[in-house]
Chains A and B, each alone.
Chain A
Amino acid sequence: MSTADAHDANRRDFLYIATGAVGAVGAASVAIPLIDQMNPSADVLALASIEVNLEPIEEGQSITVTWRGNPVIIRHRTAKEIEEAKATPVSDLPDGLARNANLAENAPATDENRVVDGKEQYLVQMGVCTHLGCVPIGNEGDYDGWFCPCHGSHYDSAGRIRKGPAPENLHVPQYTYVSDTQIKIG
């Protein structure tokens, strides 16, 4: 093979590889819109936050409201429940993180970090078991909190996982107090 031929062959190889590569990149980019269209659309992302009046919730009672298609459990905790939650050291917990969207991700799972300071009687958390998404039942389980009937996860009175397959504490959604008794979730 002469040098000219070899040179030509090199150029040919380069051309083939370049064409193949550019074609492959294009084919792959087509996947982006096809995949991304399944992500939440703009109207879903913009979905309104909801406001909830806490006043009618008696001590020891819970209500469930819907936010972004999921249940949010709001409980007016009794003094005993708060006491129990505070008495539990973080080191005893399977999940040591607060899982509170209003705090830093590495906040420890103390009872204070599960609620808003000064409003510790109101526990606001997602009613979505962190195991596989069932709705935990209130006033059940071994820890005066919630019990998930699907696979037997026990949460305590601060919504923290204590026993069972669930890996994380019940998540606390983003919410703020717009007035003394009114919260806005989202």
Chain B
Amino acid sequence: MSGHSTYNPTNPVMKWLDDRLPMPRLMYDSFVSYPVPRNLNYWYTFGGILMIMLVSQIITGVVLVMHYTPDTSMAFDSIEHIRRNVNYGNILQKWHAVGASFFFIAVYIHIARGMYYGSYKAPREILWMLGVVIFLVMMATGFMGYVLPWGQMSFWGAKVITNLFSAVPFFGEPIVTWLWGGFSVDNATLQRFFSLHYLLPFVLVGVVILHVWALHVTGQTNPTGVEVKSGQDTLPFTPYATVKDAFALCVFFLFFCAFVFYAPDYLGHSINYQEANPLSTPAHIVPEWYYLPFYAILRAIPDKLLGVVAMFGSILIWFALPWLDTSKVRSAAYRPIYKQLFWILMIVFFGLGVVGANPPEGWWITAGQILTFYYFAHFLVLLPLVGLLETPKPLPSSISDAVLASNGAKAPAAQPAE
């Protein structure tokens, strides 16, 4: 896939540089001449969108740190200072906060796309697992970032989530004390969360580089799930994927900016506009929306330790996905039963989100338990079985065949771009 490089600098300066540090060559091979399957649809643009979101979060984050003070006595006021006094601070602060939400929207679509098109299957297991690592680091980063404004939900969210670790047998208490750096969430906790919240995005950048590297070794999947077989099957990344990604990004930003500018508080919690008060818990503690499905799984199990195990297990199980799915066919488009299961899983996951947002009382508890049971059954029982039982539809012999078939009677298009 990566093959030999076609980079051929004519400018003597670039040639000189290429002989010493072939950075432009790397960029050229990765983002210009890199061949992408010609049948990628818009679901495949979210990788690029995620890259931009990561950069956007890092830039706005660095900017916010110029005005933020990680001290319990000043953190809340310093956020207000940003909103009220700093030039463009009101926008920058919301861009970062709403940006976290949209980062997660994009990552969920990206993960779902991977599940639908079987992007985790050989030879892309490492690529997939790196993706799961990215998701875990994102969750940790987002959680610690939410603590920094030091509102009521920041404080109590931090307290509840760190207390998860008290479920660890024997070492629970010491671990939580160690996490807090004290006997409650306090200044020491805030400062270490701030430090790690600044560090982890750069860890994220590192893992993303590995993720992209792995992608460029194996090549992208595509909606047919059939591997690229010849130059006929691909288009050069630039301009085709570049422009398509840019268009998708622009539309994504339309939605993003609609929230930043017209509903900046919609995705947050109003109670976080109240400064943290260690003496009074808000009536209803919920995490940010993007953690709700996992929060629902935590609460579905009436045992502290098992609940925590189930919650982490619900993500860690993705690591085993390449081996839990026994089907040789990648794309759900050719797997009639798996396709149904995929959509049911999506419904279940959304359902868990709804359950997570509501108080654990009455039938919400039952609903949470049923959905949690199904969630695990999907990965542990249904997926392995379906792969063995289902009869896939016949696969096209190549991507270009599939493209010709879907274009149907249309006049033969011009010759391929290569």
Chain A-chain B contacts (Cβ-Cβ < 8 Å), number: 34
* Contact of A23 with B81 in the complex, beta carbons under 8 Å: no
Docked complex: B42-77 residues within 8 A CB-CB of A:
59, 63, 66-67
Question: Given contacts A23-B246, A41-B81, A43-B81, is CB(A36)–CB(B66) below 8 Å?
Answer: no
Docked complex: A12-70 residues within 8 A CB-CB of B:
23, 32-34, 36-39, 41-44
Q: How far is the CA of A70 from the CA of B89 in the complex (A)?
A: 26
B171 interface contact, C-beta 8 A: no
B405 interface contact, C-beta 8 A: no
Interface of A is mostly: helix
0/1 per residue, A88-107, Cβ < 8 Å to B? 00000000000000000000
* Contact of A43 with B85 in the complex, beta carbons under 8 Å: yes
Size category of the B interface is 10 to 19
* Contact of B89 with A34 in the complex, beta carbons under 8 Å: no
Write the nearest CB–CB distance from B82 to chain A, whole angstroms. 9
* Contact of A33 with B87 in the complex, beta carbons under 8 Å: yes
User: Which chain B residue shows the least CB distance to A45?
Assistant: B85
User: Which chain B residue shows the least CB distance to A42?
Assistant: B85
Find chain A residues with CB under 8 A from B63 CB.
34, 37
A41 partner, pick from B89, B91, B246, beta carbons under 8 A: B89
Q: How far is the CA of A169 from the CA of B255 in the complex (A)?
A: 55
Q: How far is the CA of A36 from the CA of B63 in the complex (A)?
A: 11
Write the nearest CB–CB distance from A47 to chain B, whole angstroms. 11
B235 interface contact, C-beta 8 A: no
* Contact of B84 with A37 in the complex, beta carbons under 8 Å: no
Q: How far is the CA of A38 from the CA of B67 in the complex (A)?
A: 9
Find chain A residues with CB under 8 A from B246 CB.
23
B98 interface contact, C-beta 8 A: no
* Contact of B87 with A41 in the complex, beta carbons under 8 Å: yes
Find chain A residues with CB under 8 A from B59 CB.
34
B88 interface contact, C-beta 8 A: yes
* Contact of B84 with A42 in the complex, beta carbons under 8 Å: yes
Write the nearest CB–CB distance from A183 to chain B, whole angstroms. 28
Interface centre among A32, A34, A37, A38 (most CB of B within 10 A): A37
Q: How far is the CA of A163 from the CA of B66 in the complex (A)?
A: 39
Q: How far is the CA of A42 from the CA of B67 in the complex (A)?
A: 13
User: Which chain B residue shows the least CB distance to A23?
Assistant: B246
* Contact of A33 with B91 in the complex, beta carbons under 8 Å: yes
B92 interface contact, C-beta 8 A: yes
Q: How far is the CA of A42 from the CA of B92 in the complex (A)?
A: 15
B86 interface contact, C-beta 8 A: yes
* Contact of B81 with A36 in the complex, beta carbons under 8 Å: no
* Contact of B81 with A37 in the complex, beta carbons under 8 Å: no
User: Which chain B residue shows the least CB distance to A33?
Assistant: B88
A33 partner, pick from B66, B81, B85, B92, beta carbons under 8 A: B92
Q: How far is the CA of A23 from the CA of B247 in the complex (A)?
A: 11
Write the nearest CB–CB distance from B327 to chain A, whole angstroms. 42
Q: How far is the CA of A33 from the CA of B90 in the complex (A)?
A: 11
Q: How far is the CA of A17 from the CA of B235 in the complex (A)?
A: 22
Interface centre among B66, B84, B88 (most CB of A within 10 A): B88
A36 partner, pick from B67, B85, B87, beta carbons under 8 A: B87
Q: How far is the CA of A38 from the CA of B88 in the complex (A)?
A: 10
Q: How far is the CA of A36 from the CA of B66 in the complex (A)?
A: 12
B85 partner, pick from A23, A32, A34, A41, beta carbons under 8 A: A41
Find chain A residues with CB under 8 A from B87 CB.
33, 36-37, 39, 41-42
Find chain B residues with CB under 8 A from A36 CB.
87-88
User: Which chain A residue shows the least CB distance to B89?
Assistant: A37
Q: How far is the CA of A23 from the CA of B91 in the complex (A)?
A: 21
B92 partner, pick from A23, A37, A44, beta carbons under 8 A: A37
Q: How far is the CA of A144 from the CA of B88 in the complex (A)?
A: 48
5 intermolecular pairs with C-beta atoms under 8 Å apart:
A37-B87, A37-B92, A39-B87, A41-B85, A41-B86
- For the complex with contacts A37-B88, A42-B86, A42-B87, 16 further pairs of A-B residues with Cβ separation under 8 Å are A32-B88, A33-B91, A33-B92, A36-B87, A36-B88, A37-B67, A37-B86, A37-B87, A37-B92, A39-B87, A41-B85, A41-B86, A41-B87, A42-B84, A42-B85, A43-B85
Residue ranges of B at the interface with A (Cβ–Cβ < 8 Å)? 59, 63, 66-67, 81, 84-89, 91-92, 246
User: Which 6 residue pairs are nearest across A and B when measured between Cβ atoms?
Assistant: A33-B88, A41-B85, A42-B85, A36-B87, A43-B85, A41-B86
